[in-house]
Structure 1
Amino acid sequence: MSSTRTSGRGRAWALAATALLAFATGCAGATGTDRVTAGTALQAEGPGTSGSLGFSDVKVGDVYRMAFPLTRNTSKQAVSVTGVKLLNVPAGAKVLGYAVYSVKDTPGYRLGYQETAHPTAGDVDLDKYPNYAGHPYTIKPGALSDKYAVVRLKVTAQVKAPISGCEADYTQAGQTYHQTLACKFGLDMA
Protein backbone atom coordinates (compact mmCIF):
# COMPACT_ATOMS: atom_id res chain seq x y z
CA MET A 1 0.00 0.00 0.00
CA SER A 2 1.44 3.32 -0.93
CA SER A 3 0.85 6.35 1.17
CA THR A 4 0.64 9.99 0.14
CA ARG A 5 0.33 11.17 3.69
CA THR A 6 3.19 13.00 5.32
CA SER A 7 4.11 12.72 8.93
CA GLY A 8 3.01 15.43 11.38
CA ARG A 9 6.50 16.90 11.36
CA GLY A 10 6.61 16.99 7.53
CA ARG A 11 3.22 18.65 7.39
CA ALA A 12 4.31 21.30 9.90
CA TRP A 13 7.42 22.09 7.83
CA ALA A 14 5.34 22.31 4.64
CA LEU A 15 2.81 24.64 6.28
CA ALA A 16 5.58 26.82 7.76
CA ALA A 17 7.34 27.07 4.38
CA THR A 18 4.05 27.93 2.64
CA ALA A 19 3.21 30.59 5.24
CA LEU A 20 6.70 32.10 5.03
CA LEU A 21 6.52 32.22 1.22
CA ALA A 22 3.05 33.84 1.33
CA PHE A 23 4.25 36.40 3.89
CA ALA A 24 7.35 37.26 1.86
CA THR A 25 5.31 37.60 -1.36
CA GLY A 26 2.76 39.85 0.38
CA CYS A 27 5.51 42.08 1.79
CA ALA A 28 7.07 42.55 -1.63
CA GLY A 29 3.85 44.06 -3.04
CA ALA A 30 2.89 46.41 -0.20
CA THR A 31 4.82 48.62 2.13
CA GLY A 32 2.12 49.53 4.63
CA THR A 33 1.63 53.16 5.63
CA ASP A 34 4.98 54.19 4.09
CA ARG A 35 3.59 53.52 0.62
CA VAL A 36 3.31 56.60 -1.61
CA THR A 37 0.26 56.81 -3.85
CA ALA A 38 -0.86 59.23 -6.54
CA GLY A 39 -3.20 61.65 -4.79
CA THR A 40 -6.43 63.28 -5.91
CA ALA A 41 -7.43 65.44 -2.91
CA LEU A 42 -5.93 68.70 -4.16
CA GLN A 43 -7.19 70.96 -6.92
CA ALA A 44 -5.09 73.74 -8.45
CA GLU A 45 -6.79 77.13 -8.65
CA GLY A 46 -5.91 80.60 -9.79
CA PRO A 47 -3.84 82.05 -12.61
CA GLY A 48 -1.53 79.65 -14.36
CA THR A 49 -3.75 76.59 -14.10
CA SER A 50 -5.06 76.91 -17.65
CA GLY A 51 -2.25 78.74 -19.39
CA SER A 52 1.38 79.64 -19.01
CA LEU A 53 2.82 82.28 -16.72
CA GLY A 54 6.29 83.62 -17.29
CA PHE A 55 8.65 86.34 -18.30
CA SER A 56 9.98 87.82 -21.54
CA ASP A 57 13.40 89.27 -22.36
CA VAL A 58 15.02 86.70 -20.07
CA LYS A 59 18.82 86.74 -19.90
CA VAL A 60 21.43 84.34 -18.56
CA GLY A 61 22.09 85.20 -14.92
CA ASP A 62 18.54 86.40 -14.20
CA VAL A 63 16.85 85.08 -11.05
CA TYR A 64 13.08 84.66 -10.89
CA ARG A 65 10.45 83.64 -8.36
CA MET A 66 7.30 81.95 -9.60
CA ALA A 67 4.30 80.87 -7.54
CA PHE A 68 2.75 77.42 -7.62
CA PRO A 69 -1.05 77.41 -8.03
CA LEU A 70 -3.27 77.95 -5.04
CA THR A 71 -4.56 74.60 -3.73
CA ARG A 72 -8.00 73.54 -2.59
CA ASN A 73 -8.64 70.34 -0.63
CA THR A 74 -11.60 68.80 -2.47
CA SER A 75 -11.79 65.77 -0.17
CA LYS A 76 -13.74 65.20 3.05
CA GLN A 77 -10.59 64.80 5.18
CA ALA A 78 -7.86 67.28 6.08
CA VAL A 79 -4.54 67.02 4.25
CA SER A 80 -1.12 68.00 5.58
CA VAL A 81 1.16 69.32 2.82
CA THR A 82 4.73 68.22 3.56
CA GLY A 83 6.65 69.34 0.48
CA VAL A 84 6.58 70.77 -3.05
CA LYS A 85 8.79 70.55 -6.11
CA LEU A 86 8.88 71.16 -9.85
CA LEU A 87 8.88 68.01 -11.95
CA ASN A 88 10.08 69.34 -15.32
CA VAL A 89 12.95 71.82 -15.19
CA PRO A 90 14.54 72.21 -18.63
CA ALA A 91 18.23 72.65 -19.28
CA GLY A 92 19.25 76.27 -18.73
CA ALA A 93 17.11 76.73 -15.60
CA LYS A 94 18.37 75.84 -12.13
CA VAL A 95 16.16 75.57 -9.04
CA LEU A 96 17.73 77.57 -6.20
CA GLY A 97 15.08 76.69 -3.64
CA TYR A 98 11.46 76.66 -2.59
CA ALA A 99 9.54 78.81 -0.14
CA VAL A 100 6.00 78.75 1.21
CA TYR A 101 4.16 81.97 2.01
CA SER A 102 0.71 82.83 3.32
CA VAL A 103 -1.68 85.27 1.70
CA LYS A 104 -2.50 86.30 5.27
CA ASP A 105 1.08 87.59 5.73
CA THR A 106 1.84 88.94 2.27
CA PRO A 107 -0.20 91.50 0.33
CA GLY A 108 -2.05 88.74 -1.53
CA TYR A 109 -0.98 85.96 -3.86
CA ARG A 110 2.27 87.01 -5.54
CA LEU A 111 2.48 85.29 -8.97
CA GLY A 112 6.16 86.00 -9.49
CA TYR A 113 8.84 88.53 -10.12
CA GLN A 114 12.37 88.99 -11.39
CA GLU A 115 14.81 89.38 -8.51
CA THR A 116 17.57 90.82 -10.63
CA ALA A 117 15.47 93.72 -11.97
CA HIS A 118 15.43 97.04 -10.17
CA PRO A 119 12.38 97.22 -7.89
CA THR A 120 9.57 99.43 -9.03
CA ALA A 121 6.96 101.19 -6.93
CA GLY A 122 4.63 98.66 -5.36
CA ASP A 123 7.03 95.69 -5.68
CA VAL A 124 6.85 93.17 -2.85
CA ASP A 125 10.00 91.44 -1.61
CA LEU A 126 8.81 88.04 -0.33
CA ASP A 127 11.96 87.64 1.80
CA LYS A 128 10.44 90.18 4.20
CA TYR A 129 7.62 87.77 5.10
CA PRO A 130 7.52 84.50 7.09
CA ASN A 131 8.62 81.45 5.07
CA TYR A 132 6.77 78.26 6.06
CA ALA A 133 8.93 75.91 3.95
CA GLY A 134 10.00 72.84 5.89
CA HIS A 135 6.88 72.98 8.09
CA PRO A 136 3.83 70.91 7.10
CA TYR A 137 0.62 72.89 6.78
CA THR A 138 -2.94 71.66 6.92
CA ILE A 139 -5.72 72.32 4.42
CA LYS A 140 -9.16 71.63 5.87
CA PRO A 141 -11.74 69.66 3.87
CA GLY A 142 -13.22 71.79 1.07
CA ALA A 143 -10.98 74.75 1.92
CA LEU A 144 -8.66 76.82 -0.24
CA SER A 145 -5.25 77.01 1.42
CA ASP A 146 -3.93 80.38 2.50
CA LYS A 147 -0.40 79.02 1.85
CA TYR A 148 1.26 78.95 -1.56
CA ALA A 149 4.63 77.67 -2.70
CA VAL A 150 7.16 79.73 -4.65
CA VAL A 151 10.14 78.40 -6.58
CA ARG A 152 13.32 80.45 -6.98
CA LEU A 153 15.07 79.84 -10.34
CA LYS A 154 18.25 81.04 -11.98
CA VAL A 155 18.76 81.14 -15.74
CA THR A 156 22.13 79.49 -16.44
CA ALA A 157 21.88 79.01 -20.24
CA GLN A 158 19.40 79.13 -23.13
CA VAL A 159 16.00 77.85 -21.91
CA LYS A 160 14.13 76.18 -24.77
CA ALA A 161 11.18 74.56 -23.02
CA PRO A 162 8.67 75.59 -20.36
CA ILE A 163 8.97 74.66 -16.72
CA SER A 164 6.01 72.50 -15.68
CA GLY A 165 4.56 70.03 -13.22
CA CYS A 166 4.04 71.38 -9.72
CA GLU A 167 4.10 68.39 -7.37
CA ALA A 168 2.73 68.46 -3.84
CA ASP A 169 3.54 65.81 -1.25
CA TYR A 170 0.96 65.38 1.47
CA THR A 171 -0.40 63.00 4.07
CA GLN A 172 -4.02 62.20 4.67
CA ALA A 173 -5.37 59.71 7.20
CA GLY A 174 -1.86 58.28 7.74
CA GLN A 175 -1.21 57.68 4.02
CA THR A 176 1.44 59.56 1.99
CA TYR A 177 0.56 60.95 -1.44
CA HIS A 178 2.21 62.74 -4.39
CA GLN A 179 -0.03 64.82 -6.63
CA THR A 180 0.94 66.74 -9.75
CA LEU A 181 -0.90 70.02 -10.20
CA ALA A 182 -1.25 71.87 -13.50
CA CYS A 183 1.30 74.64 -13.80
CA LYS A 184 3.48 76.02 -16.58
CA PHE A 185 6.10 78.75 -16.50
CA GLY A 186 7.80 80.23 -19.55
CA LEU A 187 11.14 81.98 -19.70
CA ASP A 188 11.16 83.65 -23.12
CA MET A 189 14.68 84.47 -24.21
CA ALA A 190 14.45 86.93 -27.11
Structure 2
Amino acid sequence: MLPADGRRRRGTASVDADGAELLKLALDGTRPQVEALLARLRPDVVLFDFVTPWVADAARRLGVRSARFSIFPAVSGAYFMAHGRGLYGARPTAEELASAPEGFPPSSPLSTVPTYQAAHFTHIFTSFHGMPSTHDRSVACHNACDALVIRTCHEMEGPTSTTSRRSMASRCSPRGHWCRSHREASWRRGSRRGSPPSRTRPSSSPWTNIE
Protein backbone atom coordinates (compact mmCIF):
# COMPACT_ATOMS: atom_id res chain seq x y z
CA MET A 1 0.00 0.00 0.00
CA LEU A 2 1.42 3.40 -0.95
CA PRO A 3 1.19 6.18 1.66
CA ALA A 4 -0.40 9.52 0.82
CA ASP A 5 1.93 12.51 0.50
CA GLY A 6 2.94 13.84 3.88
CA ARG A 7 1.64 10.84 5.79
CA ARG A 8 3.67 8.05 7.31
CA ARG A 9 3.35 4.52 6.05
CA ARG A 10 0.46 2.52 7.46
CA GLY A 11 -0.48 -1.12 7.14
CA THR A 12 -2.86 -3.45 8.93
CA ALA A 13 -0.10 -4.28 11.44
CA SER A 14 0.19 -0.68 12.61
CA VAL A 15 -3.49 0.14 13.20
CA ASP A 16 -6.22 -1.24 15.44
CA ALA A 17 -8.85 -3.70 14.21
CA ASP A 18 -11.31 -0.97 13.22
CA GLY A 19 -8.59 0.91 11.36
CA ALA A 20 -7.65 -2.22 9.47
CA GLU A 21 -11.23 -2.53 8.24
CA LEU A 22 -11.13 1.08 7.06
CA LEU A 23 -8.00 0.26 5.06
CA LYS A 24 -10.04 -2.39 3.25
CA LEU A 25 -12.61 0.26 2.36
CA ALA A 26 -9.82 2.47 1.06
CA LEU A 27 -8.50 -0.39 -1.05
CA ASP A 28 -11.98 -0.98 -2.47
CA GLY A 29 -11.89 2.65 -3.56
CA THR A 30 -8.96 1.90 -5.88
CA ARG A 31 -11.07 -0.37 -8.08
CA PRO A 32 -11.35 2.11 -10.99
CA GLN A 33 -7.58 2.55 -11.09
CA VAL A 34 -6.95 -1.20 -10.85
CA GLU A 35 -9.43 -1.90 -13.66
CA ALA A 36 -7.73 0.74 -15.80
CA LEU A 37 -4.32 -0.84 -15.18
CA LEU A 38 -5.62 -4.30 -16.09
CA ALA A 39 -7.16 -2.96 -19.29
CA ARG A 40 -3.87 -1.29 -20.24
CA LEU A 41 -1.45 -4.05 -19.23
CA ARG A 42 -3.57 -7.12 -20.13
CA PRO A 43 -1.51 -9.59 -18.06
CA ASP A 44 -1.82 -13.34 -18.61
CA VAL A 45 -2.69 -13.92 -14.95
CA VAL A 46 -3.39 -11.54 -12.08
CA LEU A 47 -2.82 -12.57 -8.47
CA PHE A 48 -4.88 -11.03 -5.69
CA ASP A 49 -5.58 -11.64 -2.01
CA PHE A 50 -8.75 -12.05 0.03
CA VAL A 51 -9.39 -8.31 0.43
CA THR A 52 -10.22 -7.66 -3.23
CA PRO A 53 -12.52 -10.31 -4.74
CA TRP A 54 -13.64 -7.73 -7.31
CA VAL A 55 -10.25 -8.09 -9.05
CA ALA A 56 -11.37 -11.48 -10.40
CA ASP A 57 -14.55 -9.97 -11.85
CA ALA A 58 -12.61 -7.16 -13.50
CA ALA A 59 -10.08 -9.62 -14.93
CA ARG A 60 -12.73 -11.96 -16.32
CA ARG A 61 -14.35 -9.17 -18.33
CA LEU A 62 -10.98 -8.62 -20.01
CA GLY A 63 -10.33 -12.32 -20.64
CA VAL A 64 -7.57 -12.39 -18.02
CA ARG A 65 -7.09 -15.33 -15.66
CA SER A 66 -7.20 -14.63 -11.93
CA ALA A 67 -5.54 -16.52 -9.09
CA ARG A 68 -6.24 -15.86 -5.46
CA PHE A 69 -3.00 -16.04 -3.46
CA SER A 70 -3.88 -17.12 0.06
CA ILE A 71 -1.90 -15.26 2.70
CA PHE A 72 -3.30 -17.62 5.33
CA PRO A 73 -1.93 -21.06 6.24
CA ALA A 74 -3.85 -24.09 5.00
CA VAL A 75 -4.99 -24.88 8.53
CA SER A 76 -7.00 -21.66 8.66
CA GLY A 77 -8.88 -22.61 5.50
CA ALA A 78 -9.65 -26.04 6.92
CA TYR A 79 -10.83 -24.55 10.21
CA PHE A 80 -12.81 -21.51 9.03
CA MET A 81 -13.89 -22.18 5.43
CA ALA A 82 -15.78 -25.42 6.03
CA HIS A 83 -19.48 -25.57 5.20
CA GLY A 84 -21.48 -24.21 8.09
CA ARG A 85 -18.84 -21.64 9.09
CA GLY A 86 -20.95 -18.71 7.91
CA LEU A 87 -21.30 -19.84 4.30
CA TYR A 88 -25.04 -19.30 4.38
CA GLY A 89 -25.26 -16.12 6.39
CA ALA A 90 -25.13 -17.55 9.92
CA ARG A 91 -22.50 -16.04 12.18
CA PRO A 92 -20.81 -18.73 14.32
CA THR A 93 -20.63 -18.17 18.05
CA ALA A 94 -17.44 -18.40 20.11
CA GLU A 95 -18.66 -21.72 21.48
CA GLU A 96 -19.11 -23.11 17.96
CA LEU A 97 -15.69 -21.85 16.88
CA ALA A 98 -14.01 -23.49 19.87
CA SER A 99 -14.30 -26.84 18.08
CA ALA A 100 -12.99 -27.72 14.64
CA PRO A 101 -15.57 -28.51 11.92
CA GLU A 102 -16.42 -32.00 10.74
CA GLY A 103 -13.61 -33.51 8.69
CA PHE A 104 -10.84 -31.61 10.47
CA PRO A 105 -7.96 -33.93 11.48
CA PRO A 106 -8.88 -35.11 15.02
CA SER A 107 -5.22 -35.59 15.93
CA SER A 108 -4.46 -31.92 15.34
CA PRO A 109 -3.72 -29.84 18.46
CA LEU A 110 -6.05 -27.27 16.93
CA SER A 111 -9.08 -29.57 16.92
CA THR A 112 -10.19 -27.53 19.93
CA VAL A 113 -9.11 -24.06 21.02
CA PRO A 114 -9.62 -22.11 24.27
CA THR A 115 -12.84 -20.13 24.51
CA TYR A 116 -11.02 -16.80 24.75
CA GLN A 117 -9.25 -17.55 21.47
CA ALA A 118 -12.48 -18.67 19.82
CA ALA A 119 -14.05 -15.37 20.89
CA HIS A 120 -11.31 -13.58 18.97
CA PHE A 121 -12.12 -15.70 15.88
CA THR A 122 -15.62 -14.19 15.70
CA HIS A 123 -13.95 -11.07 14.29
CA ILE A 124 -13.47 -12.97 11.02
CA PHE A 125 -17.24 -13.31 10.60
CA THR A 126 -18.13 -9.76 11.73
CA SER A 127 -19.16 -7.04 9.28
CA PHE A 128 -17.73 -3.56 9.84
CA HIS A 129 -18.89 -0.29 8.27
CA GLY A 130 -21.57 -2.15 6.32
CA MET A 131 -19.09 -4.08 4.19
CA PRO A 132 -18.48 -7.85 3.83
CA SER A 133 -16.68 -9.62 6.65
CA THR A 134 -13.25 -11.17 6.22
CA HIS A 135 -14.94 -14.55 5.82
CA ASP A 136 -17.38 -13.22 3.22
CA ARG A 137 -14.55 -11.68 1.22
CA SER A 138 -12.65 -14.98 1.29
CA VAL A 139 -15.70 -16.92 0.10
CA ALA A 140 -16.23 -14.39 -2.70
CA CYS A 141 -12.61 -14.86 -3.78
CA HIS A 142 -12.99 -18.66 -3.83
CA ASN A 143 -16.10 -18.38 -5.97
CA ALA A 144 -14.69 -15.84 -8.42
CA CYS A 145 -11.09 -16.90 -9.05
CA ASP A 146 -9.85 -19.30 -11.74
CA ALA A 147 -7.19 -20.82 -9.48
CA LEU A 148 -6.15 -20.80 -5.85
CA VAL A 149 -2.53 -20.56 -4.75
CA ILE A 150 -1.62 -21.59 -1.21
CA ARG A 151 1.90 -21.39 0.18
CA THR A 152 2.14 -24.39 2.44
CA CYS A 153 4.29 -27.39 3.35
CA HIS A 154 3.13 -31.01 3.31
CA GLU A 155 5.31 -31.96 6.28
CA MET A 156 3.65 -29.28 8.41
CA GLU A 157 0.13 -29.04 6.99
CA GLY A 158 -0.46 -32.22 4.99
CA PRO A 159 -3.65 -33.38 6.78
CA THR A 160 -5.20 -29.91 6.96
CA SER A 161 -4.27 -29.26 3.31
CA THR A 162 -6.26 -32.36 2.40
CA THR A 163 -9.24 -31.03 4.35
CA SER A 164 -9.00 -27.70 2.51
CA ARG A 165 -8.80 -29.38 -0.90
CA ARG A 166 -12.03 -31.29 -0.29
CA SER A 167 -13.92 -27.99 -0.17
CA MET A 168 -12.19 -26.70 -3.33
CA ALA A 169 -13.03 -29.66 -5.58
CA SER A 170 -10.80 -29.90 -8.66
CA ARG A 171 -9.35 -26.42 -8.45
CA CYS A 172 -6.58 -27.37 -6.01
CA SER A 173 -3.79 -29.82 -6.70
CA PRO A 174 -0.81 -30.38 -4.38
CA ARG A 175 2.58 -29.95 -6.04
CA GLY A 176 6.22 -29.87 -5.07
CA HIS A 177 8.61 -27.19 -6.22
CA TRP A 178 7.51 -26.39 -9.73
CA CYS A 179 8.08 -24.37 -12.85
CA ARG A 180 5.71 -23.70 -15.72
CA SER A 181 5.53 -26.09 -18.66
CA HIS A 182 4.47 -25.53 -22.26
CA ARG A 183 0.94 -26.69 -21.42
CA GLU A 184 0.60 -23.91 -18.87
CA ALA A 185 1.41 -21.39 -21.60
CA SER A 186 -1.40 -22.86 -23.70
CA TRP A 187 -3.78 -22.55 -20.75
CA ARG A 188 -2.92 -18.86 -20.45
CA ARG A 189 -3.22 -18.20 -24.19
CA GLY A 190 -6.71 -19.70 -24.14
CA SER A 191 -7.95 -16.56 -22.41
CA ARG A 192 -6.90 -14.45 -25.42
CA ARG A 193 -9.46 -15.78 -27.88
CA GLY A 194 -12.18 -13.25 -27.38
CA SER A 195 -14.21 -14.94 -24.66
CA PRO A 196 -13.99 -15.09 -20.87
CA PRO A 197 -11.62 -17.85 -19.73
CA SER A 198 -12.97 -21.19 -18.64
CA ARG A 199 -12.94 -21.80 -14.90
CA THR A 200 -11.40 -25.24 -15.42
CA ARG A 201 -7.72 -26.03 -15.82
CA PRO A 202 -6.38 -28.70 -18.24
CA SER A 203 -7.36 -32.23 -17.23
CA SER A 204 -3.74 -33.09 -16.50
CA SER A 205 -1.64 -30.69 -14.51
CA PRO A 206 0.04 -27.94 -16.59
CA TRP A 207 2.80 -27.64 -14.00
CA THR A 208 6.15 -29.40 -14.22
CA ASN A 209 6.94 -30.89 -10.84
CA ILE A 210 10.50 -30.78 -9.53
CA GLU A 211 10.79 -33.27 -6.70
- TM-score where L is the length of structure 1: 0.22
Q: Whose helix proportion is higher, 1 or 2?
A: 2
Q: Whose strand proportion is higher, 1 or 2?
A: 1
* Larger RCO (CA within 8 A; separation ≥ 6): 1
Larger Rg: 1
